[in-house]
Copies of this chain bind each other. A is one copy, B any other.
């Protein structure tokens, strides 16, 4: 009503009506030709698509949306509340999603929330206004309110991570459990027998998985995990420092520690410095995330890296497939993390309390 300001006379969009007039066809025919309906002659289809190309016709997404119910937009609700371990990867993640989406001429709608209730409310609003056709749900929990919302509203979604109740769930994830399993075997292969554990944020699925992977790795290496060398809920540098100090103050301290997160490892570095232990010399550390800080740490931190950009891209195209009707059971993918070996897990001094001749992996059961 009021404004009608400056922006007059943009280069007038070419609409489907213009196209139809140019071709001497009905606009319905043009629409069907463009959308690949079977009742259009091949020659006509070609003529139409060529003219569309030539005239630079781009269908208006909103106009399509009101009839088809598809906004051609992917939703992503970020939790901006607490300190969030995946912040440094956010740009890569967004980049991956954005590229995956724009390959199909879809777009990405981002919203933020400060807690779980807010997340659900925000998602509900986006659904209600039909702003998005589906959601990418990062950082999944074993029991996740967002998933329940999507299920209840029958809105398509894909998990970046896994969850407890998998009915109707599609997901893409990195196998943190395999990485942790592998990490233990690697350390055991170096001769370590007392291996500690710093786990991640509670609630999240990945925490359970990585922990399970650690335990499975210990079992596979023929080692018995010592509960007093295991700490959970370690997801900041400070947490890592505190928990690390506790481990190192142990009467029989670990010679190696597996961390579920790089930040925990970085905290452990601090603890080691305070406890007079030197990472990479008399304490081996392996971690998970592949964050940039790991590379510049001293000593450089061996870590299992996640290709967050690729994950974003995969999630986008999988979600689009899901929206287009692919069954969720056919959209489940777990890929391995990539080990980036650096200096933190190769000790320069002999491992204390580790018999030089110790047969390493599965065979002997020690102590």
Contact = CB atoms under 8 A, between A and B. Distances in A.
A35 B80 contact: no
A3 B324 contact: yes
A107 B126 contact: yes
A66 B37 CA distance: 24
A218 to B, nearest CB: 33
A66 B61 CA distance: 9
6 interchain residue pairs of minimum CB distance? A3-B325, A80-B95, A62-B62, A5-B325, A95-B112, A62-B65
Contact of A78 (B8, B37, B91, B153): B91
A297 interface: no
Nearest to A114: B95
B154 A6 contact: yes
A153 B9 CA distance: 9
Interface in A70-109: 71, 73, 78, 80, 84, 87-88, 90-92, 94-95, 98-99, 102, 105, 107-109
A130 B62 contact: yes
A67 B41 CA distance: 33
A196 interface: no
Interface of A: 1-11, 13, 35-37, 58, 60-63, 65-66, 71, 73, 78, 80, 84, 87-88, 90-92, 94-95, 98-99, 102, 105, 107-112, 122, 125-126, 128-131, 153-156, 237, 296, 324-325
A153 to B, nearest CB: 6
A108 B110 contact: yes
A91 B90 contact: yes
A80 B109 contact: no
Nearest to A98: B112
A1 B78 contact: no
A3 to B, nearest CB: 3
Nearest to A111: B98
Nearest to A270: B296
Given A94-B112, A110-B110, 8 more contacts: A13-B128, A60-B129, A62-B65, A66-B66, A80-B92, A98-B111, A102-B125, A108-B111
Kindly name the residue among A1, A3, A107 whose own CB sees the greatest number of chain B CB atoms within 10 A: A107
A153 B110 contact: no
Contacts of A296: 237
A7 B155 contact: yes
Contacts of A131: 61, 73, 107
A128 B59 CA distance: 9
A91 B325 CA distance: 32
